Amino acid sequence: MVEVDFIQSLRALARHPAARGLDDDCAVLELGGETLILTHDMMVEGTHYLAGADMADVAWKLVATNLSDLAAKGAEPLGVLLGHMLGAGDERFVAGMAEVLSQYDVPLLGGDTTAGNGTRSHGLTAIGRATFTPVPSRSGAQPGDGLWVTGSLGAAMPGYEALRDGTGGDHAAYSRPTALVAEGRALAPHVSAMMDVSDGLLLDAFRMAQASGVSIAIDGGSVPVADASRRLECLTWGDDYQLLFTLPPGVELPVPATQIGQVEVPGFAPLYLDGEPLVNAAGLGYSHSA
């Protein structure tokens, strides 16, 4: 079963309003006078990191990718829960956890460890507190809004290739991504929709358009990319963890970002790239299959 079909089969079980119909990266749970933001991501050897990777980098990425989901909600991180499969390099994993938790000033609150055989996997639940309500979602984009992105895209791609090929090139963008927590908090009061770019710009913009019931038109040439000679690859590569958001016209931008497109009334396709309709999400970015 491919990822999208499995998630669809779970929607009937996700009846609580906090689940947001499984159309978002986080649960948004109102509790007393607070709004909690909860997210959970996993990393699997051979899928999310290469066999033989420095486990300190694996720990860093596991935490940073979860905090990136909180960032897209404008949340203040409160702590994390770790699920860890024991194996080679555990000392380095602990060292990496100490580094990343210190970097973001986030405590480890608990979790679980287990022994196992074969492919290793690690899970992390990140808990945050909303700093602005209503909490941004993927589904709020409105016709007339601009589509914006922070930073540049595709920087993780050469880092992955350097590790895969053993060339010794800089791989920090891939191995140790940055969660844009401060930027997300600054943007939250202003955006109409927001998410992080984890599976590729085109795929994530497609998802935003579907969730919002709009069409999104992207000008490919305006997208800031790490390598202009590989522009299309940069638009479909994942692991960037930049923030993708829509902004109503006339709103002052609180963080550095680039407008890369426009939100339009629903049309023939959810997404248009340089005027060409993209009616199917297949091939637009990374997705899991059985």
Q: What is the pLDDT at residue 11?
A: 75
pLDDT at residue 290 in the model: 44
Identify the pLDDT of residue 261. Answer: 98
- Report the CATH number of the 3-130 domain: 3.30.1330.10
Q: Which residue in 146, 87, 160, 143 sits closest to 120, CA to CA?
A: 87
**192-205 as b/e, with b when 16 or more CB fall inside 10 Å?**
bbbbbbbbbbbbbb
**What pLDDT sits at residue 250?**
94
pLDDT tens digit at each of 290 positions of the chain = 777 788 777 677 767 787 677 678 899 999 888 999 999 999 999 888 998 999 999 999 999 999 999 999 999 999 999 999 999 999 999 999 999 999 999 999 999 999 988 899 999 999 999 999 999 999 999 999 999 999 999 999 999 999 999 998 899 999 999 999 999 999 999 999 999 999 999 999 999 999 999 999 999 999 999 999 999 999 999 999 999 999 999 999 999 999 999 999 999 999 999 999 999 888 787 664 44
DSSP sequence for 63-80: HHHHHHHHHTTTEEEEEE
**Domain ranges across the chain:** 3-130, 146-278
pLDDT of residue 116: 84
Q: Which of 66, 124, 42, 56 is nearest to 88 (CA)?
A: 56
What's the CA gap between 66 and 39, in Å, rounded? Answer: 7
Q: Which fold would CATH assign to domain 146-278? A: Phosphoribosyl-aminoimidazole Synthetase; Chain A, domain 2 (3.90.650)
Contact 53, 163 (CB under 8 A): yes
- C-beta of residue 97 within 8 angstroms of C-beta of residue 108: yes
Phi, psi of 19 (to 5 degrees): -75, -15
DSSP string spanning 192-237? SEEEE-SS-HHHHHHHHHHHHTSEEEE-GGGS-BS-GGGHHHHHH-
